Amino acid sequence: MTPKERAELYRRMLTIRRAEERLQKLFADGLVPGFLHLSIGQEAVPVGVSSALTEADTVSSNHRGHGHTLAKGVDLTGFFAEILGKATGLCRGRGGSMHVADLSKGMLGANGIVAAGLPITTGSALAHRMQGKGNIAVVYFGDGALAEGLVHECLNIAKLWSLPILFVCENNGWSEFSPTERQLATSLDRLGKAYGITYREVDGNVVEEVARAAGKLVAGMRKAPAPAILECRTTRVRGHFEGDRQDYRDSDEIAALDARDPIRLCAEALMAAGLDDAALAAIAAEVEAKIEAATEAALAAPLPEAGDILADVYTRAEV
């Protein structure tokens, strides 16, 4: 990977981090309707995976989907407007944080129901296979979803029909407020073996490692359609939702999170490769300017018209 490519990965991760930090403040100010689930600490996974994707590839996400959405290349201003429930949002303010989507970028949507993105992506992968253009589908889900029946159903049908779907598990060790081992009697690598699906595990906080593994898996899937699993060991810095005090987590665990910060690790790798503080500061300034502009535009945007509340929900029946 060239220094320029590494710097681009860093810029994309920093964009996600700064966007969520801004959303965190907007939420605290009462400007974000509904719940907010932040992916701070997990930015390397979507950025690394998306480095192997094209705009024609499709992605489904979960309730913690801001990073997945931004990494797929959606418009930053439209993203902020959507989270704030504004008419200029990607979904005209109707989707919000947990259901933001942009089909023009292949982003099929975040989803507030655990594991619900898997069947959506499985259907998309079937469409890709039928079209025969070499495109693939990606679904992001957490380790908390592994106890859901949908996981097994989708792994099974993806293998049976040789669907080009990359199952990306962001394993942060937590299922809402409980350690994952309290809810799952097996492991994802064992499930992969049971269904005969290629499985890879990476350090989900090292963006180059994620990008390298995703690139190899995706390249193989484009040549010969087949499912694959990429499990990314990562860290959840914030609580399950914004406002969660995380009383259930050990203080030593939380104190050690900074050492595993994917943005910090990437910055250190960039400096070891020859990039200096000034170059990193320039990237940070560029990102901050874009976040500021997107936020201001979203705050100034109008709210949806009350009369449009049922628009795009029902279709008039022809008698």
The predicted pLDDT at position 51 comes to 97
More confident residue, 305 or 252: 305
Query: Tokens 């009383």 identify what position?
Result: 247
pLDDT in tens, 46-73: 999 999 999 999 999 998 899 999 999 9
Structural domain spans, the chain = 3-302
The predicted pLDDT at position 220 comes to 96
The predicted pLDDT at position 318 comes to 73
10 pLDDT more than 90: yes
Confidence label for 244 from pLDDT (cuts 50, 70 and 90) = low
The predicted pLDDT at position 316 comes to 74
- Parallel, antiparallel, or unpaired for β 165-171 and 58-60? unpaired
> Averaged over 267-289, what is the pLDDT?
94
Helix (H) / strand (E) element for 169: namely: strand 165-171
pLDDT in tens, 145-163: 888 899 999 999 999 999 9
Q: Which two tokens stand for residue 130?
A: 């039928």
pLDDT in tens, 180-226: 777 777 889 999 999 999 999 999 999 999 999 999 999 999 999 99
Q: Which range has the worst mean pLDDT, 24-38, 179-193, 266-280?
A: 179-193
More confident residue, 172 or 265: 265
What percent of the chain is modeled with pLDDT above 90? 69
3-302, CATH topology level: Rossmann fold (3.40.50)
The predicted pLDDT at position 179 comes to 67
- Parallel, antiparallel, or unpaired for β 174-175 and 178-179? antiparallel
238 within 8 A of 244, measured Cβ to Cβ? yes
8 pLDDT more than 90: yes
Burial of 112 (0-12, 13-18, 19+ CB in 10 A): middle
> Averaged over 220-233, what is the pLDDT?
96
- Quote the CA–CA distance of 253 and 217 in Å, as a whole number: 32
180 within 8 A of 174, measured Cβ to Cβ? yes
257 pLDDT more than 90: no
Confidence label for 174 from pLDDT (cuts 50, 70 and 90) = low
2 pLDDT more than 70: yes
